[in-house]
Structure 1
Amino acid sequence: MRLYLLFLLMATATVLSPGPGVVMTLSNALRSGRRGTVGGILGIAAGALVVAVISATSLGVLLATSAKAFTVLKFVGAAYLVYLGIRLWRSPALNLSLETDQSADRFGRRFIEGITIQLTNPKVVLFFLSIFPQFIDPTAAYGVQFALLSLTYAGIVVVVHLVYALFAKRARRWLVSERGGRIMNRTAGTTFLFFGGVLATAHR
């Protein structure tokens, strides 16, 4: 697990970047307070674990035995990170929907909503398809590494989204402003461009 620190940084950048999950957490926090975000956040984390199991298990085995597959997915992952970086640079500020829906206040409803968002989020799916397996060391126990990286990602999801929920009210005006949205998107975009370059030059 020599690249565990790099995985932490890349996973954190992915979770921090604006997307459906972040918008849901911020909207729930502004509408119902921090407690109202717990169900959705846990759902997002659980959805990430489901995507990890579906997407990364077979690919991890393939990458352990195929240098060609590793090279192909390495460049696919790098290209996707560059794409995300460019798209974030060009994106407007976040659009937070604050319409009140009393039925959405229930924990179970928001938990399911969080899982659904992750299962249909291409950013998460492609992360586990093309980036995640490359942090698996083929010479070490696969199951242990898979569990550690998957749970690490889910833990990062919970921590980052709780931080978003904590500062939602204070940061709302800044996040949805043209200037704040531009700074946030371009910071995240630059980070993805950097990691895209790092991944493209990575070796086993």
Structure 2
Amino acid sequence: MALDTWAAFLAASTLLLLIPGPTILLVIGQSLGGGRRAALPLVAGVALGDLAAMSLSLAGLGALLAASATLFTALKWAGAAYLLWLGVKLWRAPVAAAAPPAAPPRRAFRDAYLVTALNPKSIAFFVAFVPQFLDATAPWLPQAAIMVASFVVLAALNALGYALLAGRLSAAIARPGLRRGINRLGGSMLIGAGLATARS
């Protein structure tokens, strides 16, 4: 892969990742509640979810999803239902004067992985986005490996940045009323993302 093509891919991917989506909303919500200690399982879940989605896209699942309305719809509804469930759970989360305990690492990892991997729009997006940076005259596998590895690293760093920022704000947001408002805002955004996914 040519250096200028790789640099263009990194720049485009960075811009896309900086726009918060359902995954980042989840990362922020759980980091606000759990502080910095919640960051690593969330970041690992995001990285593995992006690795799965992008690898499956490049392996042909993205093209299959684009061609099969039934499969796309099933995956879309699964992702939408999970986002709605997380949004309602965050909306109803109890608040206290002290910061709530962090979600167990395994659950935080699972939630971040599923929200990231179960987004059919991401898979379809990778199918449309990645070929723009492929050189048809060069071997496909090394190019795909470089792009997958680059995107996963950028996605993990992006999630880590949001998680650390939210974790730092967690200590400053101690009032139960403020925490409740943040939970409801985050829950509403996740519910909205779930509804938008269902309607797409």
Pairs within 5 Å for 1:82-161: 97=90, 99=93, 105-161=103-159
Residue matched to 1:40: 42
How has the CA–CA distance of structure 1 residues 29 and 133 changed in structure 2, closer, same or farther, with 3 Å as cutoff?
A: same
How has the CA–CA distance of structure 1 residues 48 and 100 changed in structure 2, closer, same or farther, with 3 Å as cutoff?
A: farther
Q: Once the two structures are superposed, what CA deviation does each residue of 1:58-87 show, in whole Å capped at 9, x if it has no partner?
A: 389x9xxxxxxxxxxxxxxxxxxxxxxxxx
Offset at 1:141?
A: 2.1
Offset at 1:123?
A: 4.4
- 8 A contact 2:53–2:122 mirrored in 1: yes
**Which has the higher mean CA deviation after the structures are superposed, 97-106 or 143-152?**
97-106
**Counterpart residue type for residue 158 of structure 2:** V
CA distance in structure 1 between the aligned counterparts of 2:145 and 2:101, rounded to whole angstroms = 35
- 8 A contact 1:39–1:110 mirrored in 2: yes
Residue matched to 1:85: none
**Counterpart residue type for residue 56 of structure 2:** I
- 8 A contact 2:34–2:101 mirrored in 1: no
Matched, 1:26 2:24: no
Residue matched to 1:10: 12
Q: Once the two structures are superposed, what CA deviation does each residue of 1:88-147 show, in whole Å capped at 9, x if it has no partner?
A: xxxxxxxxx472598972222121211211122244223211101221212222111111
Residue matched to 2:194: none
**Which has the higher mean CA deviation after the structures are superposed, 50-59 or 111-120?**
50-59
CA distance in structure 2 between the aligned counterparts of 1:30 and 1:160, rounded to whole angstroms = 16
CA distance in structure 2 between the aligned counterparts of 1:59 and 1:3, rounded to whole angstroms = 24
Offset at 1:156?
A: 0.4
Aligned residues between the structures = 142
- 8 A contact 2:39–2:163 mirrored in 1: yes
Moved over 3 A (4+): 100-104, 169-173
Identity %: 29
Q: What RMSD, in angstroms, separates the aligned Cα atoms of the two structures?
A: 3.4
Q: Once the two structures are superposed, what CA deviation does each residue of 1:10-65 show, in whole Å capped at 9, x if it has no partner?
A: 111221111111111111111001121211221111111111121123389x9xxx
- Structure 2 alignment gaps of length 5 or more: 64-89, 174-180, 183-200
Q: What secondary structure does 1:3 align onto? A: helix
